[in-house]
Amino acid sequence: MSYSFEYIDIILLAMIAGFIFLRLRGILGKKTGFEGKILPELKKEFPKNFTKENKKNLTFDDNAQKEFLQGAKIAYETIITDFSDSDNKITKSKPLLSKKIYNQFKEALSERESKGNYAEITFIGIISAKIKEQKKIENNLEVTVDFVSELITSIKDKDKKIISGDPEKIKKLYDTWKFSKDTRSANPNWYLIDTVA
């Protein structure tokens, strides 16, 4: 009987992960950057003087920035909570991570698990998210975002003893994350490629 409940839990988690992935794809996956030849309906997203000399500087208009930041905020919360939950595994946010970042996160979680530690987090919310830099490098668009968020977090050992953090205190977190997408790819999704705490 307990096995059937386990299968139901797995199915429910898969459905939730699928919903989050589709939601993020719908927002982060929108083509708001330079995709080669500029289509008439996309011209408003670029300045009139967008030439070979300034292709390295990707320019979003106000609407494109708002849409991108909306998706970036969802991705940020999803990745933070996925990395900081108690199972020491990357599950929900894996489709949002570059191979390099995924491997870094996986290594850090494996080290935490090997020590018998786990995390507890309550994500309070994002105070601000601002685009710091935007550029085009060869065939990749890169957008760097400064995040300020609040959360309650602590690391505990197998006996539930607090190793770091404070389960009663709200902590302000400052992060700088870099997102990228390949203009040659048919997949319009953005991926997290670098983090600077």
At residue 7, the pLDDT reads: 54
Which domain, by its residues, includes 111? 2-196
Q: Which tokens go with 93?
A: 């946010």
Instruction: Tell me the CA distances in angstroms from 126 to 72, 78, 123, 151, one per residue in order.
Output: 11, 12, 9, 9
Contacts of 142 (CB under 8 A, 6+ apart): 58, 133, 134, 135, 136, 178, 179, 180, 193
**Angle (nearest 5°) at CA 196 between 192 and 197:** 120
Q: How many CA atoms lie within 13 A of 136 on its CB side?
A: 21
- The residue with tokens 């902590």 is 171
At residue 138, the pLDDT reads: 87
Question: Kind of pairing, strands 118-137 and 140-156?
Answer: antiparallel
**Is there a contact between 160 and 66 (Cβ–Cβ < 8 Å)?**
no
φ, ψ for residue 90, nearest 5 deg: -95, 115
Query: Counting Cβ atoms within 10 Å, is residue 98 exposed (0-12), middle (13-18) or buried (19+)?
Result: middle
Question: Kind of pairing, strands 171-182 and 140-156?
Answer: antiparallel
List per-residue pLDDT tens for the chain, 197 residues long. 445 555 565 555 556 665 565 555 555 554 444 444 433 433 333 334 333 333 444 566 788 888 889 999 999 999 988 887 777 788 888 999 999 999 998 898 888 888 888 888 889 999 999 999 998 888 888 999 999 999 998 888 888 899 888 888 999 999 999 999 888 888 778 899 998 75
Q: How many CB atoms lie within 10 A of CB 21?
A: 17
In whole angstroms, give the CA distance from residue 183 to residue 167.
43
At residue 11, the pLDDT reads: 59
In whole angstroms, give the CA distance from residue 184 to residue 136.
13
- What is the domain-level CATH number for residue 139? 3.10.450.240
At residue 176, the pLDDT reads: 96
Count how many domains the chain has: 1
At residue 39, the pLDDT reads: 37
CB burial readout 139-158, b (16+ within 10 A) else e = ebbbbbbebebebbbbbbee
**CA 127 to chain CA mean position, Å:** 16
